[in-house]
Amino acid sequence: MFDVVIVGAGPSGSACAYWLAQAGWSVCLIEKKNFPREKTCGDGLTPRSVHQLAQMGLEPAVAAHGHRYQGLRAFGFGATLEMNWPEHPIFPNYGYTITRFNLDGLVAHQAEGLGATLLNGVEAVALLEPIEAVGAGLRAASGVVAVEKATGTTGEVRGRFLVVGDGQNSRLGRDLGTQRNRSWPMGMALRGYYTSERHDEPWIDSHLDIRDPKGDVVPGYGWIFPLGDGRVNVGVGLLSTGGAWKGVNTTKLQEYFVAQTADAWGLNDESCCGPATGGRLPMGLALGPRCGANTLTIGDAAGTVNPFNGEGIAYGYETGRLAAGVVGEALLTNDPGALCLYDERLDQAYGDYFKVARAFVRIISEPRILTACVGVGMRVEPLMKELLAIMANLMRNDKAGPAEVGYRALVRLADIIPERAYHLLLGDSKAA
């Protein structure tokens, strides 16, 4: 019997295991794949992720395997802007790109080094002795039924608490009772690797307009993230919100985007490293409930991707750590009731921010509004720099600069206009 069983050794599960093991609790971290393993991702770490990795003692390892970059280069409607990450008292003014193949095992093994039991190649297939929730929470469970993939051996892994960080599909999370709020945004993205002479550039590129062969703007955005290892990560994303995006397919979008950037980056059949792969990005805390009598969900399983920029790694580390904090308190005080602090802490950390972000993406999901805003914004560099700080959640509590003032105004606006009103504003009568 472990103190805590954690399902999934992605950013959220491994960070949770790290912080619990560091506090001296017995932890079992269950991962169905064997490290190192591929995970479809843009491979971009913002300053928020770097901060969490540094706190887990991993920045030297990330620097050794990854590529340090200084900021974002935005392209759109004929303009280009190079924007350094802002100075901040907590977060560094740089990020890294690093493949998930190289990154994820680092955190899992760091947790193992502190005493966590890491079960690689073991899949949690069902909840053990599930108990229905009283009220609106998650179901409770005594652990999980797990299968060792190499041998097919089935066994039970028991824990006083169960934390589920099993990613975007979150089968175990759904078994616990999570559901998505379908009127909130969901991201879809696709990425592929290419070799490129420009693999070690100091910027990550974001393209705010993708065009079809006729030159018309199509819904979605594109990125090129240099990996520093001879390759670049090339991908596209779009949001489920807004009728105009329906019927757009990420494979077609990637085709257009690669054609658009092929000459500049040397993207072609020879430089292509293999077929592109995709996934979903559950955002803005769209999945709930997140807390039960002895159960919690974290990371993508709780829908914690930032709707502003599709970033999910930092929020995986952060929610894993928040969950470790409340589970630690529950163990220390022998009071499982402490778990309900988790929702409160998520709300303190992200409540207002995600509300603004959901409103923002809902509005820019409308192509006419996007074109007008980006077309103007790209020509006002100071505005875009402040927007970058807001979109990457790098505002400062100790300062009242334009980003901070602008953000507070947006919070007030999001408070005044209920979510439903955005549907009406955009003429989405079905959702309203």
DSSP 198-233: TTT-SEEEEES-EE-TTS-EES-EEEEEE-SSSEEE
Q: Is 253 in the site for ligand FAD (CB under 6 A)?
A: no
Q: Is 123 in the site for ligand FAD (CB under 6 A)?
A: yes
Question: Omega before 289 cis (within 30°)?
Answer: yes
The C-alpha atoms of residue 128 and residue 131 are separated, in whole angstroms, by 9
Q: Identify the bridge partners of residue 156 per DSSP, sorted by sequence position.
A: 145
Return the number of other C-beta atoms located less than 10 Å from residue 200's C-beta.
Answer: 16
Q: Is 40 in the site for ligand FAD (CB under 6 A)?
A: yes
Judged by CB under 6 A, which of 165, 173, 219, 289 binds ligand FAD?
165
H-state helical runs in 220-267: 250-265
Query: DSSP state, 139?
Result: P
Site for ligand FAD in 266-285 (CB under 6 A): 278-279, 281
The C-alpha atoms of residue 187 and residue 184 are separated, in whole angstroms, by 10
Report, in Å, the least distance between residue 211 CB and ligand FAD.
21
Judged by CB under 6 A, which of 299, 303, 307, 377 binds ligand FAD?
299
Report, in Å, the least distance between residue 146 CB and ligand FAD.
7
Q: Is 106 in the site for ligand FAD (CB under 6 A)?
A: no
Residue labelled with tokens 């974001």: 206
Vertex 65 angle, CA 320 and 223, to 5°: 75
Q: Is 124 in the site for ligand FAD (CB under 6 A)?
A: yes
Q: Is 343 in the site for ligand FAD (CB under 6 A)?
A: no
Judged by CB under 6 A, which of 51, 191, 321, 362 binds ligand FAD?
191
Measured in whole angstroms, how far is the alpha carbon of residue 148 from the centre of its chain?
28
Q: At what angle do helices 381-391 and 402-416 cross, to 10 degrees?
A: 60
DSSP 347-360: IIIIIHHHHHHHHH
Q: Is 305 in the site for ligand FAD (CB under 6 A)?
A: yes
Report, in Å, the least distance between residue 120 CB and ligand FAD.
10
One character per residue 201-240, x = contact with ligand FAD (rule: CB under 6 A): ----------------------------------x-----
Judged by CB under 6 A, which of 3, 6, 13, 58 binds ligand FAD?
13
Q: Which of 391, 397, 410 is nearest to 47 (CA)?
A: 391
Report, in Å, the least distance between residue 106 CB and ligand FAD.
13
Reading the block at residue 80, the tokens are 């280009």
Q: Is 115 in the site for ligand FAD (CB under 6 A)?
A: no
The C-alpha atoms of residue 396 and residue 21 are separated, in whole angstroms, by 31
H-state helical runs in 95-235: 100-113, 171-176
Report, in Å, the least distance between residue 375 CB and ligand FAD.
25
Number of residues in contact with ligand FAD under rule CB under 6 A = 42
Q: Is 32 in the site for ligand FAD (CB under 6 A)?
A: yes
Q: Is 186 in the site for ligand FAD (CB under 6 A)?
A: no
One character per residue 43-82, x = contact with ligand FAD (rule: CB under 6 A): xx--------------------------------------
Which stretches of the chain bind ligand FAD, using CB under 6 A?
7-13, 30-33, 39-44, 123-124, 165-168, 171-172, 189-191, 235, 278-279, 281, 299-301, 305, 310-314, 316
